[in-house]
Structure 1
Amino acid sequence: MKLETQVTGNIGLYYVCYHLSRLGWNVMPTSRNARGIDVIAYDRTGTEFIGVQVKALTKRNPVPLGNSLDKVMGDFWVIVNNIGKEPQTYVLLPEEVKKLVHRGEKDGRVSYWLQPKSYCVDEYFEAWGRIGRGH
């Protein structure tokens, strides 16, 4: 079954919210299709906040980042691939995303991508401990 792009994004968003909630974070998805942070989470005391960007893919594909790295923000990036079957997550820092990015140019137009060989590595795989607990 082929999933629509919006459904794929929703599955990824709520999958990440589920994992963060299990770690003790109070989680709030932001407005869909808004630029920037997809999830805001805070600890049980309300003193620590994190912002998470979520990228959801149906399979192990490159992550499109657009024509600028200005949209790479937040405290963490979580890439969820294989969303329709057995989701796999990769937890990265925005600085890591920027460091690993592939820059492409075609017909004078620049685009940025995060290749699977860059993000599908043991260091980031299911690395929820990098985020920590919300208590």
Structure 2
Amino acid sequence: MSTAEGDPPPKKKPRVDGQITGLAGELFVAAELLKRGLQTSVTFGNAKSVDLLAYDPESKRSFAVQVKALRSKNFFLLSHHKVEPTQVYVFVLLNKPGQQVQYFVVPGKDLHGQPEKFSKWFLDPKMPGIHPNTLAELGYEDAWHVFAESAA
């Protein structure tokens, strides 16, 4: 789109800080886990390998939780090669203020052991990712029961 001579160029919409999005996702997930009776702590820091630590006092199980957050529906960027099978992955779609947050809870063993079921994009060598629609179709939306399942 061209502008008349002397007109200022159109303003670009400011890009949202990815760290803010990530922290918002972590805090939303922490709140959901706390609501479900799991003792939860956020691991702050730049070079961390786990976003949240959760402990279920009933089952005496601990969980290392990785959180991937987006502000709007797009691919969650995640390489199959970086998935830890012992961790739980919670994909968070924040949506716009006033809209409900969406959660997709996936055991790392599913992501690691059956990558092809998460679509060809998850195995893409250049920019691997998983779309929220795929996670919903596979039954992972609000699958908080993952934190109650046996360790087997």
Q: TM-score, normalised by structure 2?
A: 0.70
Overall identity of the aligned pairs, in %: 25
Q: Which deviations, in whole Å up to 9, do the C-alpha atoms of 1:5-49 show, x marking residues without a partner?
A: 111111100000001011111111113333422111112369321
Confirm or deny: 8 A CA contact 1:13 1:54 kept in the other structure. Answer: yes
Unpaired segments ≥5 residues, structure 1: none
Q: TM-score, normalised by structure 1?
A: 0.78
Answer yes or no: is 1:80 the counterpart of 2:96: no
Unpaired segments ≥5 residues, structure 2: 1-13
Partners of 1:46 and 1:132 in 2: CA distance: 8
Confirm or deny: 8 A CA contact 2:107 2:146 kept in the other structure. Answer: no
Q: Which has the higher contact order (CA 8 A, sep 6+)?
A: 1
Answer yes or no: is 1:36 the counterpart of 2:49: yes
Larger helix share, 1 or 2: 2
Shift of residue 75, structure 1, vs aligned partner: 2.8
Shift of residue 112, structure 1, vs aligned partner: 1.9
Larger strand share, 1 or 2: 1
Give the CA RMSD over aligned residues.
2.5
- The residue number in structure 2 matching 1:117 is 133
Bigger Rg, structure 1 or 2: 2
1:17 to 30, 38, 48: 30
- The residue number in structure 1 matching 2:123 is 103
Structure 1 residues 116, 43: CA separation in 2 closer, same or farther (over 3 Å shift)? closer
